[in-house]
Amino acid sequence: MPRVLRIINRFNLGGPAYNVAYLTKYLAPEYETLLIGGEKEPDEDSSLFIFNEMGLEPLVIEEMSRSVNFLQDIKAYYRIKKIIKEFKPDIVHTHAAKAGALGRLAAHSCGVPVVIHTFHGHVFHSYFGKFKTNVYKNIERFLTRKSSAIIAISERQKQELCVEHKIAPLQKTTVVPLGFDLSKFSDNQPEKRKTFREKYQIEDDEICIVIIGRLAPVKNHPLFLKAIQFVKSNSTKKIRAVVVGDGNLRNDLMKLCDELNLDYCYYPSEPKKATVIFTSWIQDVSYPLAGSDIVCLTSFNEGTPVSLIEAQAASKAIVTTKVGGIENSVNNEAAFLVDIADETGFFEKLLLLCSDERLREKMALNGKDFVFKQFHYTRLVADVKRLYASLLKH
């Protein structure tokens, strides 16, 4: 039985955690997998409950963290090499940047036959300045030469990696979209909607607009808050905005609410009725999705937008910026995709959805079949099995 060492950046809550969990669980019995990854950051929620619920026991590498720390990174590198020598994998499959760097270098040093890296996103724009971005590009080009295959999670991302940024050759890059268990987003929706709205004091006649994700610069939450202010000022409908997630920018976003004259609350410490509700992390996002009427995403850069896939599974209308792999991840009949530079267009599309209940309900029906076909975990597992088999033959 071939052995796979799977390495993830860190065990924080997000799409990559779910995907490595499904691959670890469902590639068996054809493959034996050992899953390792770094510690979550203090401002993140842990994903370890996902693995516990699936009966998996990942190994946490305390030395591996999100930020660059040369001493800790060197320790993590040698720890990974030790694990490789003990586990003797036929395949090392890394997920995201830090795991990809340390894991691929260690695997190449130890002579692992097959080395694969999945880009769940990338930092080649909207994260750093020009010099630092070019440094990361050159590092990734070097690491690609140490890889048997590169996985992009959308056709758009493959275009960015291979053509726009010239990170990897086309012939070495395979598109394998993410996969999820989407059933919970359509199950028991009336009960979940009632539970969520009662908890956050959202009335039946109020339109609930939700955004889900880390409160980080790349997620561009200021655009969301400005859009809420625009809709509140220009619509006769009663609206509530729910910001699901947390991060270092929370206080800055609350200050922006003050500047925009939006009343708000941070629910964990100040539960009250407010136009903008900061919920912090919610482990089961099927509840806020069931409770919502519209889902937004405002990012400058995305690989595959997990919250939009889940929103379509929950039959919600969407307003999103058109960046990265988003256009490959949503049904155009379920979402308004707006150019990142067109703030006014984003405001107007959100206002239109709030004002037109029939349009909102019509769009909400168009995404579910699309995502169940394209993004179910059974398809993910089948795609990866085929790739592994082809690489092990060479």
Can you tell me the distance from the alpha carbon of 343 to that of 382, in angstroms, rounded to the nearest whole number? 40
Buried b (16+ CB within 10 A) or exposed e, 283-306: eebbbbbbbbbbbbbbbbbbbbbb
Same-domain check for residues 220 and 366:
yes
Predicted confidence at residue 128, as pLDDT, reads 62
Predicted confidence at residue 210, as pLDDT, reads 98
Edge-first strand listing for the sheet containing 335-338: 264-266, 276-280, 239-244, 207-212, 294-297, 317-321, 335-338
Residues in the chain: 394
Predicted confidence at residue 154, as pLDDT, reads 87
Predicted confidence at residue 123, as pLDDT, reads 60
Which of 294, 195, 283, 184 shows the shortest CA–CA distance to 237? 294
Full residue range of the structural domain in which residue 133 is found: 3-181+376-393
| Average pLDDT, consecutive stretches of 10 residues, N- to C-terminus, the chain (394 residues) | 96 86 96 94 85 94 83 95 98 94 97 96 62 84 96 90 92 94 93 98 97 94 98 96 96 98 96 96 95 97 88 97 90 96 97 97 94 92 97 88
Cα 285 to Cα 138, 193, 213: the distances in Å are 37, 11, 11
Same-domain check for residues 381 and 368:
no
Same-domain check for residues 235 and 337:
yes
Predicted confidence at residue 44, as pLDDT, reads 81
Same-domain check for residues 50 and 154:
yes
Q: Are 152 and 158 in contact (CB under 8 A)?
A: yes
CA angle 88, 94, 308 (to 5 degrees): 145
The phi, psi pair for 238, rounded to 5°, reads: -85, 125
Same-domain check for residues 88 and 221:
no
Predicted confidence at residue 124, as pLDDT, reads 66
Same-domain check for residues 380 and 349:
no
Domains in the chain: how many in total? 2
Which ranges constitute the DSSP H helices of the chain?
15-26, 48-53, 70-87, 97-109, 130-145, 155-159, 189-199, 221-234, 250-259, 286-291, 306-313, 343-355, 357-364, 368-374, 377-393
The phi, psi pair for 60, rounded to 5°, reads: -90, 125
Can you tell me the distance from the alpha carbon of 300 to that of 341, in angstroms, rounded to the nearest whole number? 10
Predicted confidence at residue 27, as pLDDT, reads 97
Which of 132, 129, 150 shows the shortest CA–CA distance to 141? 150
Predicted confidence at residue 390, as pLDDT, reads 96
- Burial of residue 94, with CB atoms counted within 10 A of its CB: 0-12 exposed, 13-18 middle, 19 or more buried: buried
Tokens of 111: 């002579």
Same-domain check for residues 30 and 170:
yes
Query: Helix (H) and strand (E) counts for the chain?
Result: 15, 14
Q: Are 8 and 37 in contact (CB under 8 A)?
A: yes
Q: Are 144 and 122 in contact (CB under 8 A)?
A: no
Same-domain check for residues 163 and 253:
no
- Burial of residue 335, with CB atoms counted within 10 A of its CB: 0-12 exposed, 13-18 middle, 19 or more buried: buried
Same-domain check for residues 176 and 188:
no
Same-domain check for residues 39 and 152:
yes
Same-domain check for residues 192 and 281:
yes
**CATH number of the domain enclosing 26:** 3.40.50.2000
- Give the pairing of strands 276-280 and 114-119: unpaired
Same-domain check for residues 308 and 362:
yes
Tokens of 59: 């190994």
Q: SS3 for 84?
A: helix
* pLDDT (tens digit per residue) in 109-155: 999 999 999 998 666 655 567 787 788 888 999 999 999 999 998 88
- How many other CB atoms sit within 10 Å of the CB of residue 385? 15
- Burial of residue 364, with CB atoms counted within 10 A of its CB: 0-12 exposed, 13-18 middle, 19 or more buried: buried
